[in-house]
């Protein structure tokens, strides 16, 4: 294969998300597809993931999700969740809320952080989303997380446990200090942040614009 000698355009993008947030999963999926389109065009898109917690301090004991939603927010929350599952089909995603597990996400976010250190944040994030929404896995369970890490190829070093936890706390604080109160949020070089539901083509055009002005 002939090697390219020209300097590649570089675009940096970040998405702020929570791994149990349905709009975050849809947003991440659309952004990943937009990023793939740019990469196919020869643009070096560096995609980062920033953590957010919808329920800071939530237990990781694991409980069926729909009853938790009903208890916390009422019947309308269950209706909204099931409606979101129907809309996700258009993005090629399957949400199995009947088997989804409510859990805190601190340790899952820490796994993404460890994956990022190894250049595997994107596949690790996708696998955690799919584990929660599609596979009915408890992504707050250390054994489940260890299995998912091995599946993606992320090395988990116990010696990094303390440092990764502190770095994650700093990242969570950074996001809060920048006024993020809901996710997803998309941050692309030189472009005002985009919040909430965004179409794939919108994200692609935003990335393309950043690449053009880089």
pLDDT for res 197: 87
What is the share, in percent, of the chain residues with pLDDT greater than 70?
Answer: 96
Instruction: Please report which confidence band the pLDDT of residue 8 belongs to, taking 50, 70 and 90 as the band edges.
Output: low
Residue 35 has pLDDT above 90, yes or no: yes
Distances (CA, A) of 93 to 1, 53, 131, 209: 35, 22, 12, 28
Instruction: Please report which confidence band the pLDDT of residue 3 belongs to, taking 50, 70 and 90 as the band edges.
Output: very low
Tell which wins on pLDDT, 7 or 209.
Answer: 209
Q: Is the dihedral of CA 126, 46, 195, 52 positive or negative?
A: positive
* Nearest one of 57, 39, 54, 43 to 9, comparing CA atoms: 43
pLDDT digits (tens, 9 = 90+) for 37-78: 999 999 999 999 999 999 999 999 999 999 999 999 999 999
Q: Are 65 and 100 in contact (CB under 8 A)?
A: yes
pLDDT for res 214: 63
What is the mean pLDDT of the segment spanning 152-177? 95
* Nearest one of 121, 153, 135 to 32, comparing CA atoms: 121
Alpha carbon 163 to its chain centroid, in Å, reads 21
Q: Under CATH, what is the fold of the domain 12-213?
A: Glutaredoxin (3.40.30)
């Amino acid at each position: 294969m002939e090697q390219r000698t020209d300097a590649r355009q570089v675009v940096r993008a970040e998405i702020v998300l929570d791994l149990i947030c349905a709009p975050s999963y849809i947003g991440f999926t659309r952004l990943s597809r937009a990023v793939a389109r740019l990469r196919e065009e020869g643009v070096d898109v560096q995609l980062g993931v920033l953590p957010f917690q919808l329920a800071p301090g939530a237990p990781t004991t694991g409980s069926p999700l729909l009853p938790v939603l009903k208890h916390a927010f009422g019947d309308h929350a269950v209706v909204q969740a099931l409606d979101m599952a129907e809309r996700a089909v258009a993005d090629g995603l399957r949400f199995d809320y009947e088997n989804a597990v409510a859990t805190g996400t601190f340790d899952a976010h820490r796994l993404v952080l460890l994956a990022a250190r190894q250049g595997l944040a994107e596949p690790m994030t996708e696998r955690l989303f799919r584990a929660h929404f599609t596979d009915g896995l408890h992504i707050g369970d250390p054994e489940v997380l260890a299995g998912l890490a091995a599946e993606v190829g992320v090395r988990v070093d116990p010696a990094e446990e303390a440092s990764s936890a502190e770095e994650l706390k700093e990242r969570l604080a950074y996001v809060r200090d920048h006024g993020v109160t809901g996710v997803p949020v998309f941050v692309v070089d030189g472009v005002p942040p985009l919040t909430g539901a965004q179409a794939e083509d919108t994200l692609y055009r935003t990335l393309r614009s950043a690449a053009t002005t880089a």
